[in-house]
């Protein structure tokens, strides 16, 4: 009996040691933090898209903590209100607002901007955070493949419609959530809408490459205006982003994959740090067209430096979103 008991004690202490090591490893994997607690955002007006959960919610938390007036641009108003209440309770900042903006509908984006402009005559920071990953093939209201439509096209229209306010409020900033996945991305110029063939991973990677090319082209167009635009990779973060990936949501994964992956994932708070850095760090006031990860500049993939491709994508995006004409034309 005493041998059995000592084996149990040994077993338990091994489990304890393993759990301790995993927690230590997780701590090390959280990445750089935006440490500038002295940097305030009092009175600054900020929009964060897709902020009812994950990285977006923690970004709003960080901004509200620093005194910003934050507009949460979300599609699910019940979820948004729940998140807003958490943020107001935690930060004691009442200036956090929920506004409807479904990036899979260009009409919804236009309506959001129209409403926003009746409420505010300035915009200091726009954070294009919302994203969808590896969903089954589906289309936006205007017929754009969903990942390209939400991650790039919806934000393309939103940003362009808000440029006048951003310019009036300069120095002002735009932050675009891209991903390290852009390094595997290709812009499929022959079949941008994935009509002939759809691979959910490739469509996500294409949309995240589009985010970096958009940032590059926009930075050029904004030269001399006092408005900057930078892209970020938040790290690999434990959020709802994998909701469409069956394997990661199964009981098999909960038991056998997640415990091993967990120590390597950032928390949503850690995932928000580079967005906060790009939005607020005073050293970045004149920095534009860059890509940051872990609160530091990083190089982008070769295909993300292709100026001709960035211009081509810009022209197609203008047409598909009807940015100039008001009429979307997807082809």
Ligand X SMILES: NC(=O)c1ccc[n+]([C@@H]2O[C@H](COP(=O)([O-])OP(=O)(O)OC[C@H]3O[C@@H](n4cnc5c(N)ncnc54)[C@H](OP(=O)(O)O)[C@@H]3O)[C@@H](O)[C@H]2O)c1
237 binds ligand X, rule: CB under 6 A: yes
125 binds ligand X, rule: CB under 6 A: no
The structure tokens listed for 321 are: 């979103």
Q: How far is CA 7 from CA 13, 21, 188, in A?
A: 10, 21, 59
Binding ligand X (rule: CB under 6 A), the pick from 91, 239, 317, 321 is 239
Active-site residue identified among 71, 97, 198, 204: 204
Termini Cα distance of the chain: 76
| Partners of 199 in beta bridges | none
Active site residue 204: yes
For residues 288 and 226, the answer to whether their CB atoms sit within 8 Å is no
240 binds ligand X, rule: CB under 6 A: yes
CA dist 293 and 138 (Å) reads 30
217 binds ligand X, rule: CB under 6 A: no
Stretch that binds ligand X, among 71-79, 114-122, 161-169, 189-197 (CB under 6 A): 71-79
Residues 277-316 that bind ligand X (CB under 6 A): none
Please name the residue ranges forming H helices in the chain. Answer: 2-28, 54-65, 77-91, 106-119, 146-148, 155-168, 200-221, 251-252, 258-261, 268-271, 273-280, 307-321
- Per-residue binder mask for ligand X (CB under 6 A), 74-113, x = binder: xxx--x----------------------xxx---------
Least CB distance from residue 56 to ligand X, whole Å? 5
273 binds ligand X, rule: CB under 6 A: no
Stretch that binds ligand X, among 21-29, 125-133, 157-165, 296-304 (CB under 6 A): 125-133
For residues 185 and 206, the answer to whether their CB atoms sit within 8 Å is yes
Binding ligand X (rule: CB under 6 A), the pick from 161, 214, 234, 317 is 234
Least CB distance from residue 102 to ligand X, whole Å? 5
For residues 58 and 269, the answer to whether their CB atoms sit within 8 Å is yes
CA dist 53 and 29 (Å) reads 21
Q: Which residues have a catalytic role annotated?
A: 204
Binding residues for ligand X, rule: CB under 6 A, are 49-50, 52-56, 74-76, 79, 102-104, 129-133, 150, 177, 179, 233-234, 236-237, 239-241
């Amino acid at each position: 009996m005493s041998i059995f008991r000592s084996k149990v004690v040994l077993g338990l202490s091994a489990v304890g040691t393993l759990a301790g090591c995993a927690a230590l490893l997780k701590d090390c994997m959280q990445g750089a933090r935006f440490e500038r607690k002295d940097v305030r955002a009092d009175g600054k007006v900020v929009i964060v898209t897709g902020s009812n959960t994950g990285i977006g919610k923690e970004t709003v938390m960080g901004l509200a903590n620093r005194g910003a007036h934050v507009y949460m641009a979300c599609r699910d108003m019940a979820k948004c209100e729940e998140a807003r209440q958490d943020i107001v309770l935690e930060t004691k900042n009442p200036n956090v607002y929920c506004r409807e903006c479904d990036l899979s509908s260009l009409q919804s984006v236009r309506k959001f901007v129209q409403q926003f402009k009746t409420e505010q005559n300035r915009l200091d920071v726009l954070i294009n955070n919302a994203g969808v990953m590896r969903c089954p093939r589906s289309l936006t209201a205007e017929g754009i493949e969903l990942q390209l439509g939400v991650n790039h096209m919806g934000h393309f229209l939103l940003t362009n419609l808000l440029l006048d306010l951003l310019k009036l409020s300069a120095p002002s900033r735009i932050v675009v959530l891209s991903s390290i996945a852009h390094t595997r991305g290709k812009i499929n110029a022959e079949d941008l809408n994935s009509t002939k063939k759809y691979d959910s991973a490739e469509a996500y990677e294409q949309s995240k490459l589009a985010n970096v090319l958009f940032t590059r082209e926009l930075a050029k167009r904004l030269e001399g205006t006092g408005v900057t635009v930078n892209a970020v990779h938040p790290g690999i973060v434990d959020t709802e982003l994998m909701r469409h990936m069956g394997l990661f949501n199964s009981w098999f994964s909960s038991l056998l994959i997640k415990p091993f992956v967990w120590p390597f994932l950032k928390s949503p708070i850690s995932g928000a740090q580079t967005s906060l850095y790009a939005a607020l760090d005073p050293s970045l006031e004149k920095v534009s067209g860059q890509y940051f990860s872990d609160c530091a500049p990083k190089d982008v993939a070769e295909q993300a430096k292709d100026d001709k491709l960035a211009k081509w994508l810009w022209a197609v995006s203008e047409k598909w979103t009807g940015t100039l004409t008001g009429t979307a034309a997807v082809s």
